[in-house]
Structure 1
């Protein structure tokens, strides 16, 4: 079935969404949800039905968060404003309906002709996925003869292509691994395709001298039907690896092709058939690719044994981590370590989860930080050459120990082991920010964005904001929001920047849009109402009441509550909350120098004592301090900006 609405075309048979004939990147869950909503022709689809249809076969999944994330990504792709929707209408607490007029077209099913590999026919082998099940016995001799002939043709053409490559073509020094297609016919196996893409990328970087584009950078091309030369140009690479993976029962079949981007010619292709108990598949394929490009490292790193069940759990955790669902990954990383206690990568994943949960203010640091320290220490002890282990230890030094110097040492070690990982550069930017090393922070942020533009889009704006360069921050965020107008992290950063700049009307509007992006139109409306009645102070009091109520049910960072009290100029509760945050070892304390809301406390002995105990450089606090009054006492500015 094919649906058309506004400038979009949704082809269910091809599992493809197009805008003005251009294919759009959309992950599987949001795509399935879009098909479900559009097919109901304006009828309400309940959240319970969505959970049952899209997540019934999965375990350890927070379906509420999953639905909200899928809706948010759909709205980002459709550029649909949740406050004034043109496509997806929210029925608060119940479900959703698709409200745009839809034209339904019947779909003519044509026999699917196998797609020939790119490049010239006489130099390009045709590689078809090997069947997992045994072939039929009819005409058995003919089948065997044809298979042997095909193998000879494949061998000859590959050798010819290899000869031409070595004779005339320039050397390939940079490579991108495009997301592997999941051909299992089972959407629950999507994590396997994503996990193998990640492992293949990591292993090629580890076993070769090639410059490898990070996984997060290439994920935008998942399912994209675009010329490889165009994709390679955008990624700045000379070679592309593409392929597919399928799992049937206890068998895994993976097909890979190595392609030169400038000539669109095939260099190498191979199919791998393995039992699911073989966890070394990605490493074997990576070494083959490195050999084809004469870039293999002299000594390949020893492949450690990994229990297949532990590996499977780990891949599920990594899939959630890279799918904007990091806080759902913990059960899988935990399960992997329980199945195989000496699995270093799983311990690193678990440590990263605890660190992320603390920074996000989702868990009590007194509970999570000892677990983070234990997990990162186990990862390092088990494999001192694992980049992820050093990355996890760097996070532990910064988040759990407030020790940026040792954190920097560890993250530099991680970068030396895996220089293609954009997350490491982004984390080092955080370390430099805490140490108030502005130029290095900006340089690292730009590097992280270059390597993973989607994942690290807010980084530069956030850094400008933390250095109180608000106009520069807003200019950068404006560019990022044009590409992703409903990205919640970008919206949050913009709201914070406007608040710190004291552009209160725009800050209130940004806060309402942020709640809308999280599919909460009721609270978005309450924020707008509060501002209309009492200006920014009313919005701050509403936020303070909102998070104080949440504090009765779950952990809420005392630093967040202190910020609201500081905005209102309430000295005593602000200091009390900051001292409580110190007692709990809340990570947010490391960033109080960046927020002008706390400037009015500079002369307070309790605040000065707190800064010294935290270990923040005094020059960092003083250099960023701008004289300002609390918003309640600045009546003139409030009256002007709240109109």
Structure 2
């Protein structure tokens, strides 16, 4: 998964309308993590607006604009105070305020250097950006590409802030890697590199980029290499509104350049994909009911089923079936419906378990028949089959194929972890769960991966680690019974009987119909959960 590039246009007219208005864009100065927006008269650091007085802003603006030379005290006074009498103390106070606003000081002088008896000079490296103003309608193409019915994104060339033209390859390589990683998510519409790179070296208006490329989101950023370190700043922007959805910066030591690219790509992709989904869900929620499409219904269903509550799954299934009525070949919706029916069985939310089992398997077969090349669909189908059918050889092959198709998919690794746990391979399951959480550390499903991790750790007699994982899961979703089951079993194995009974009591509050025998009958998970079940009995859970 805000920064400063909220774009717009300025129009400067000429007297009596004798000359057509010249289209001039907003001017911004970028330096390190800071941005000076001359149109909004705002100073930013990453996502935060730094509050400064008008005189402090004007001093910084003047120093940056005249960074090619040393400016004297008289220059500053004439520009900022219009030649009024200003004491040296007042000027020093304002300069110190400028330095403080940008993380500088009179001792460090990283940005503003004092030259005794000469004046001052802004010595920080600056990128000057002037947004392209709104185009003349006569110059615009007749029509822009229609927005796809799924999240659409363009990754613009990252600006090279290193001051070394030879480092362009590193910045371009980062964009290539991120574009390729995003394109592996079939639920995303990603603009090809060649189109995005037509904007390289140009000052752009993000809204115009979105219109010309037909995308809702734009990712942009800067790369800086200096003194053996690399810093990358990225921003995800809603191109329709200019608002920022996500921004972050990453800094590492420069060692292996290709390993570093992989690390940054993973960090960026894992951060922005959940933000894209959340933004799309929010957009769907704001639409009027009569505007709903199959895809909007699918997004709303995702929001409902995420916490895995009885009511949420029921509402999610209602929305998904409406989506499938509108678009019967919607593979992702069919897979989600199958997963919901399987959840109803595993969570004991149904009075018709046999019907739910059959529906889960039918819908997964339908999803695979519609699209057997989608890694998330493959992963979900593998997990549902492992839970409800068992065997697992075929399911492991499907899971392997899913992560091969998209090694950046949280869901593919998450489902593979559960499949391996069900198959009786807890060590491999742990590696998959850990890989999933590394893919997407803020994913809404993390509580489920942590629960699976805890179950696997219990089978390996690593009870203390299981408790840590389960407590994290419980904090993320206190209404999910899995973490309490894990805690009850692990505490019991450690002889911490009071804590085991307390966890068991919490679990029965969430799942009041739980019995050990019913849990064993519900899914194949129990077949390789000997230590977990033994812990249930030690904790005094009902047979």
TM-score by length of 1: 0.42
